[in-house]
Structure 1
């Protein structure tokens, strides 16, 4: 019987494995630091669970890479974190951060499973997905117990099944705007929360970053995140829907370096990439024209911000190149 693990990795499999490796090295750095700065015993147990999952992922990935003679990505190491630095984030923020990371992990590995072919690769991503679901459950249950979990808004249950009969459903003109759909509310709520988490994280990073150019970049990101929070919150408030709270108080006044500027920029870039995906999904799911156009106008802004971050990383030789297709013109001596 054919050994299916000896089939070559597809581009999709190579991409998902390489990306997972890089992301887990970031997680190990961040979570190792968190472990030394937690007061709540329950929160510490959850961080320990997440850290163990990332370390296990790295071990499994190395096994796959070894079978393929695939060079390990460098990613991030102990040199990129000062685990003994003073506390920068509150326990409550750490829980919110972990919950958000678990959502990203569930999404990425679901896609990877759908595109996977080899059994060993699929089984790996199933394992990562299981851990991400476990982390989501642990953070949700603990935050509900502690009273720190922020639920999405409530709306009335519909009286009956209905169908759209007028073009007003699509209109975004103020005099003809309809009420928000549950799907639109969901995306607005999610994008407010992710921007709030992003802003709080950037605030912390801004206090401990070393390079002046990186600090300027983070300051700009902080303003963009707040602007987007305000825009989405206004849409909810104008439709008498409550907007989720802010997380500014989750950051302490510490200025001791915790993470390398390289790790900081990578982490921010990864969050921007996720944000662009969220905005695209929200735009597609928002029939009301004014909301769809709002998302469409914001995507270029954060895409340009992401590009500027990539340029800083390239300038400093911090951007690790992902697996690339063969350049046939170069191999042919044409370039």
Structure 2
């Protein structure tokens, strides 16, 4: 019987493996630091579970890389974090952070499974997906018990099945605005919450970053996140829907260096990329024109912010190059 693990990796498989490896190296740094600063025993157990999962992912990915003669990405190491530095984030924020990261992990690995071919690659992504789902369950259960879990808004159950009969369903201007759909509410809620988490994370990073240009970049990101929170919150409030609470108080006052500027920039860049994807999905799921236009107007802003971040990383030799296709012009001597 043919050994299907001997089939070459596809571009999609290389991409998912490389990205997973890089993200896990960041997670190990962040979670190792969290583990030294948790007060609650159950929070500690969840952080430890997440850390062990990331370490397992690294081992599984390295096995595949080794079999392919694929050089391990450098990623991030213990040189990029000081786990003995003072506390920067609260237990509550750590749970919100892990929960948010597990949501991103579920989405990325579900897509990787759909695009994967080789059995060993599929096994890896199934393992990551299973751990992400477990983290969702663990964080949800604990946060519900503690009263720190923020539920999406409630709306009334429909009386009957109905169909759209008027074009005003698509309009969103002046006095022609209809009520928000449950899908639109969900995306607005999620994008408020992710921006709040991003803002709190950036606030902490600003305090511990060393490079002035990085600090300035993070200050700009903080303002962008707050602006987007306000815009999305106003849409909910103007439709008599409650907006989720803020998490600013989750950051302590320490200014001791904890994470390398390289790690900080990579982490922020990864969250921006996820945010752009969220906005695109929200825009596609929002038939009301004013909401779709709002998302469309914000995507270029964060795309430009992401580009400026990439330029800082390139300038400092912090941006590790992902696997790339062969440049046939170079190989043929035309460049």
Q: CA deviation at 1:283?
A: 0.1
Aligned residues: 335
- After the TM superposition, which residues 248-287 of structure 1 pair with which residues of structure 2 at under 5 Å, given as runs? 248-287=248-287
What does residue 36 of structure 2 align with? 36
Q: CA deviation at 1:127?
A: 0.4
What does residue 12 of structure 1 align with? 12
Q: Is the partner of 1:218 in helix, strand or coil?
A: helix
- 1:250-277 CA deviation, whole Å, 9 max, x = no partner? 0000000000000000000000000000
Q: Report whether the alignment pairs 1:47 with 2:40.
A: no
What does residue 197 of structure 1 align with? 197
What does residue 62 of structure 1 align with? 62
What does residue 188 of structure 1 align with? 188
- After the TM superposition, which residues 1-335 of structure 1 pair with which residues of structure 2 at under 5 Å, given as runs? 1-335=1-335
Rounded to whole Å, the distance in 1 between the matches of 2:16 and 2:184 is 30
Q: CA deviation at 1:282?
A: 0.1
Q: CA deviation at 1:16?
A: 0.2
TM-score, length basis structure 2 = 1.00
Q: CA deviation at 1:319?
A: 0.1
Rounded to whole Å, the distance in 2 between the matches of 1:29 and 1:257 is 14
- 1:234-260 CA deviation, whole Å, 9 max, x = no partner? 000000000000000000000000000
Q: CA deviation at 1:172?
A: 1.1
Please identify runs of 4+ aligned residues in structure 1 that moved more than 3 A: none
Q: What RMSD in Å do the two structures reach over aligned CA positions?
A: 0.3
Rounded to whole Å, the distance in 1 between the matches of 2:64 and 2:268 is 28
Rounded to whole Å, the distance in 2 between the matches of 1:221 and 1:275 is 12
Rounded to whole Å, the distance in 1 between the matches of 2:173 and 2:126 is 46
Q: CA deviation at 1:169?
A: 0.2
Q: Is the partner of 2:333 in helix, strand or coil?
A: coil
Rounded to whole Å, the distance in 1 between the matches of 2:60 and 2:243 is 41
- 1:86-138 CA deviation, whole Å, 9 max, x = no partner? 00000000000000000000000000000000000001100000000000110
Rounded to whole Å, the distance in 2 between the matches of 1:185 and 1:62 is 41
- 1:125-184 CA deviation, whole Å, 9 max, x = no partner? 000000000001100000001000000000000000000000000001120100000000
TM-score, length basis structure 1 = 1.00
